[in-house]
Structure 1
Amino acid sequence: MNRILSSTSLLSNVSLPRQNKNKLTKALFYAIIVASIGSIQFGYHLSELNAPQQVLSCSEFDIPMEGYPYDRTWLGKRGYKQCIPLNDEQIGIVTSFFCIGGILGSYFATSFANIYGRKFSSLMNCTLNIVGSLIIFNSNTYKSLIIGRVLVGISCGALIVTIPLFIKEVAPSGWEGLLGSMTQICIRLGVLLTQGVALPLTDSYRWRWILFGSVLIAVLNLFMWFKVDESPKWLLAHGRVVDAKLSLCKLRGGTFDEAAQEVQKWQQQIESGNSLIEPTTTNSISGSNSLWKYLKDESNTKSRNVITVLLFGQQFCGINAIVLYGTKIISQLYPQHAIRINFFISMVNVLVTISVSLLIHSLSRKPLLMTSTILVSITAFIMGVAINYNKMNLLIVFSFIYMGVFTMGLNPLPFIIMREISRPQDMVLAQRYGTICNWIGTFIVAYTFPIIHDILSGYVFIIFAVIACLISAFIWKMVPETKNRVASYNQIWADR
């Protein structure tokens, strides 16, 4: 769900890209923006229930207009319920079933996009997102909320796989890092947008309009995609040589002959046996390129164990407890301004993500990951103490710090490391496996947190702190340094 591509080339080449093929043209810029809006959809849906869940679930009643009954509002006149009665377990299920859809969408996304193209896949994902969002907006029952959340989860799970594929394939040489990092940045912008929309709309009369915001984003994205050309590399991989040249010429600018020369280089790459696009893995249980074979292969055991711990552990450190339930946590001590504080926490997340995207590839992986994880452990512990002892200011300050230190390392690095510690022929399967682990971890936290938090209160963050501490020890002992890796797979794991 968090995917940052290399920015090393960006830092060395971005200053003076002189040739047409290295320019960021208007057409290419437009295409990148359109693709990145899909990531905004993901971020929006991830946190759309954060602010309104108390009024949505009938746990609180915030009447914006005294003396003006709900039945007289536009929503009330059309049969929309003022709220949908939900207990803590049901809130957890509605929130977490987004992840069930996400697993399904991300698992089949590459195969679907390789068959039907990046553009068509994105159009279908936007359409599914519109349908799912409308179901959520129109929901008057617990079951319909779940159905809508699963559908938007499938769409978003597919989008965050398809979008990096498209961006990677259209990005000019020297721009891959910055353009690739747009996925992560736009996910955080989506979370921020949700919290911004929630500021004026989180009350017992207008909370549905927060959910309707995702419909508008998906519709906008859908129509914008019609003006974007298909990935030229995908076109060439499917034998559509002329279409690939035309698409590349429109996206990159320059002459048709310049585009033809670059396409010719791609053809040579294909003829030499190198894949031009992300290879499709087998979706069946058995097969030479299946996930099941990857799980059974004992030669992958050490790298697979690291991927499992890092991708599950990232979620079990509690980040999505804040992203999904931050308003409820803060409202325990500061109910009047909980939504506003959550908005500013999301803003910090965006700013740190942008900074990290530019700097992370110039830093060593292991020290940064360990530092981030240790600081997450410390800040989570202090947050737990602050909740238990009603220290409002302490909770707010360390919520900001927690978000910052998590974003600087524990957020992006597991997704970078999981490719770098795997054998070249296993990178795609390793990435698929790690993504599934991360989705499952998110599901577990999303489902269990409301229940555990009501029982343990701040002690749940002390549990997160202990988990983060254990992960730090695991990183120190088991995770190799992979920056500028030159050693072979066997040499990396020889002493571990």
Structure 2
Amino acid sequence: MAAFKDVTFYLLLFIGICTIGPLQFGFHLAELNAPQDVLMCRKKAITTRRRWHRLFPNRTDSDKPIVPEPGFLSLPSCIPMNDAAFAAISSVFTLGGLAGALYAGPFSSRKGRLLAMRATACFFILGSLVETVAGAVWVMGVGRFFTGIGAGAATVIVPLYISEISPKNKRGFFGFFTQISVNVGILGVQVLGYFLSHDQAWRWILGSGVIVGAAQFLGLSVVPESPAWMAAHGDPVESRRIFKRIRGKNATGLGEEVGRIGDESRTASEEEALLADAASSVGSPLTTVTSAQAHKNVLPHLGFMQVAKDPFYRPAIVAVVGIMFTQQFCGINSVIMYSVSLLTGLLPISSALLTILISVVNLFITIACAPLPDRLGRKTCLLISACGQGTSAFVLALSIVLGQKIISAFAVLFFVGFFAVGLGPVPFMLASELVGQEAVGATQSWCLAANYTATFIVAQFFPIINVALNEILGGAGWVYFLFTAFAAAGAIFIFVCVPETRGKKDADEVWGRVRRLD
């Protein structure tokens, strides 16, 4: 228990409230998976006919396409659309996510992490409400875009906030909480989808997002601003107060953990004087400093394009962008977003039940693997994950092509399980570990912009490519050979371009160099 002596109730409470944001990312990412055929007017229910009649004995022919009829508040029971339209409303969520990710980093750097998280809650509430009452494809698309903005912003800000309030030696462990909450959201909406994907009940799935968003907004009323952000914006006294509230009255190490803006032996007035003196010294010619010292000297927060143009930060941008493309191009969202429809008839059990089982496996493996980044290292976890996913994708493709349903079911579970080992949680940690405080907001935006761009490509084009390959080659499952190749390429990229950050005190030690201010 000594290892957790610096973990307080308030730290766990604040992390728990903040991770409601990533939870909603998972929720909205997978919310259309189970009710897809019902939403598109293809079926009355996704459950088998026997189970459907047992639950609703007055219903008949649940598997037949239906005609939308007025229901609650005169809203249609379904929205007629083809596969292309469904792919569009699925992928527009990622476009909103891209917009949210691009703006969230600079906004949180200027206005603070707390205000930015409250804004995400508002987008979740608004988007969920629009989705719930949608009666046309374009209205559903608008709602999905708004929830996407909230999701994109949340997945930028929350990992950053957690990294800034967590003890240095436990940032990897608490960094996993982001992915754990994403998986909780996915599991929750899959369970709702299994029981509510019939008639007009699918609207309750989407309406649940309003309740979760409201809970997030209310919870954030007790969450304080990041002490690192407060220190970086010239308020060391308030920074120290918040730091001790989060980490306990006897907590030490404020100077090291929030960017060396003074240490515990200095008085508040001395810290403020030091900050002013340091600010006036910025710009002296050819001063060599570390990133931590640069932060101490109050370097201005860098913008989205500034970090990409600066050769000092460019390797970190390449690393996080490449990892995020690897994460998505390994094919995880082909399962998260389309598994119920995609796997129908290909596996030995109901695809809806298998999807819930997949979500359970994903959640528990993520929890079980939470200590691994701090024990094995971030890079090692990423390599294990990419190689495992590539192997599982190959087995899945081969088993589907050969009609081996039992092997296919296990391959899907291993495919998702290996994702949880590294490619799921680790990329969200690295943006705050590869650069200093002055560039972390912009780097996090690059990280999530790449994530949502890659997710859009998969969401929009996976169904099209899957159908095309199946028609050309015959049968099904061929697309997973493509994911195998992407996983192999991703593993090579990680091995060559991604540095290890475990045990490194700051970005300068990670890269083995120092920042020169001209």
Could you state the TM-score of these two structures normalised by the residue count of structure 2? 0.78
Distance in 2 between residues matched to 1:189 and 1:276, nearest whole Å:
38
Distance in 1 between residues matched to 2:512 and 2:173, nearest whole Å:
32
SS of 2:295's equivalent in the other structure is coil
The structural deviation recorded for 1:202 is 1.8
Structure 2 match to 1:42: 25
Matched, 1:24 2:8: yes
The structural deviation recorded for 1:205 is 3.4
Structure 2 match to 1:130: 125
Matched, 1:471 2:490: yes
Matched, 1:357 2:370: yes
The structural deviation recorded for 1:92 is 1.1
Q: Using a 3 Å threshold, how does the CA distance of structure 1 residues 269 and 343 change in structure 2: closer, same or farther?
A: farther
Distance in 2 between residues matched to 1:92 and 1:277, nearest whole Å:
48
Contact 1:91/1:450 (CA < 8 Å) preserved in 2? no
Structure 1 match to 2:416: 403
Q: Using a 3 Å threshold, how does the CA distance of structure 1 residues 347 and 258 change in structure 2: closer, same or farther?
A: closer
What is the one-letter code of the residue matched to 1:465? Answer: T
Give deviations 1:146-171, integer Å, cap 9, x for gaps. Answer: 10011011111111222223333333
Contact 1:266/1:276 (CA < 8 Å) preserved in 2? no
Q: Using a 3 Å threshold, how does the CA distance of structure 1 residues 293 and 224 change in structure 2: closer, same or farther?
A: closer
What is the one-letter code of the residue matched to 1:34? Answer: I
Distance in 2 between residues matched to 1:214 and 1:392, nearest whole Å:
35
Contact 1:57/1:86 (CA < 8 Å) preserved in 2? yes
Distance in 2 between residues matched to 1:115 and 1:446, nearest whole Å:
32
Distance in 2 between residues matched to 1:167 and 1:468, nearest whole Å:
29
Give deviations 1:118-159, integer Å, cap 9, x for gaps. Answer: 332222221221110010011110001110011011111111
Structure 2 match to 1:215: 210
Structure 1 match to 2:151: 156
Distance in 2 between residues matched to 1:190 and 1:277, nearest whole Å:
41
The structural deviation recorded for 1:445 is 0.1
Structure 1 match to 2:445: 432
Give deviations 1:272-295, integer Å, cap 9, x for gaps. Answer: 5553799875xxxxxxx4433444
Contact 1:422/1:489 (CA < 8 Å) preserved in 2? no
- Which of 3, 23, 32 is the equivalent residue of 1:15? 3
Answer with 391-400 or 362-371: which moved more.
362-371
Distance in 1 between residues matched to 2:419 and 2:168, nearest whole Å:
30
Give deviations 1:437-473, integer Å, cap 9, x for gaps. Answer: 2211111001111222223231111111122223334
SS of 1:204's equivalent in the other structure is coil
Distance in 2 between residues matched to 1:428 and 1:397, nearest whole Å:
39
The structural deviation recorded for 1:242 is 5.9
What is the one-letter code of the residue matched to 2:365? Answer: V
Answer with 335-344 or 207-216: which moved more.
335-344
Give deviations 1:6-28, integer Å, cap 9, x for gaps. Answer: xxxxxxx85362xxxx3503x33
The structural deviation recorded for 1:267 is 5.4
What is the one-letter code of the residue matched to 2:100? Answer: G
Contact 2:230/2:239 (CA < 8 Å) preserved in 1? yes
Q: Using a 3 Å threshold, how does the CA distance of structure 1 residues 243 and 298 change in structure 2: closer, same or farther?
A: closer
Structure 2 match to 1:54: 37
What is the one-letter code of the residue matched to 1:459? Answer: W
Matched, 1:180 2:175: yes
1:61-210 equivalences under 5 Å are 61-62=44-45, 64=52, 65=56, 67=58, 76-172=71-167, 174-210=169-205
What 5-or-longer segments of structure 2 have no aligned partner? 255-262, 279-292, 470-475, 514-518
Distance in 1 between residues matched to 2:416 and 2:320, nearest whole Å:
22
Contact 1:311/1:438 (CA < 8 Å) preserved in 2? yes
Query: Once superposed, what is the RMSD of the aligned Cα atoms?
Result: 3.8
Q: Using a 3 Å threshold, how does the CA distance of structure 1 residues 397 and 37 change in structure 2: closer, same or farther?
A: same
Give deviations 1:40-84, integer Å, cap 9, x for gaps. Answer: 11111111111111111112222853546999x998142121111
SS of 1:275's equivalent in the other structure is helix
Matched, 1:452 2:436: no
Contact 1:380/1:461 (CA < 8 Å) preserved in 2? yes
Distance in 1 between residues matched to 2:85 and 2:189, nearest whole Å:
22
Contact 1:36/1:163 (CA < 8 Å) preserved in 2? yes
The structural deviation recorded for 1:113 is 2.2
Structure 1 match to 2:16: 33
Contact 1:201/1:209 (CA < 8 Å) preserved in 2? yes
Task: Give aligned-pair identity as a percent.
Answer: 29
- Which of 265, 270, 275 is the equivalent residue of 2:295? 275
Could you state the TM-score of these two structures normalised by the residue count of structure 1? 0.81
- Which of 225, 243, 247 is the equivalent residue of 1:230? 225
Q: Using a 3 Å threshold, how does the CA distance of structure 1 residues 157 and 269 change in structure 2: closer, same or farther?
A: farther
Answer with 73-82 or 430-439: which moved more.
73-82
Contact 1:317/1:467 (CA < 8 Å) preserved in 2? yes
Structure 2 match to 1:372: 385
Matched, 1:314 2:327: yes
Q: Using a 3 Å threshold, how does the CA distance of structure 1 residues 133 and 376 change in structure 2: closer, same or farther?
A: same
SS of 1:357's equivalent in the other structure is coil
Give deviations 1:343-382, integer Å, cap 9, x for gaps. Answer: 1111111112122221123225555433432322221122
What 5-or-longer segments of structure 1 have no aligned partner? 1-12, 282-288, 492-496
What is the one-letter code of the residue matched to 2:295? Answer: S
Distance in 1 between residues matched to 2:377 and 2:385, nearest whole Å:
12
The alignment of Structure 1 onto Structure 2 pairs a total of residues equal to: 467
SS of 1:224's equivalent in the other structure is helix
What is the one-letter code of the residue matched to 2:8? Answer: L
What is the one-letter code of the residue matched to 1:15? Answer: A
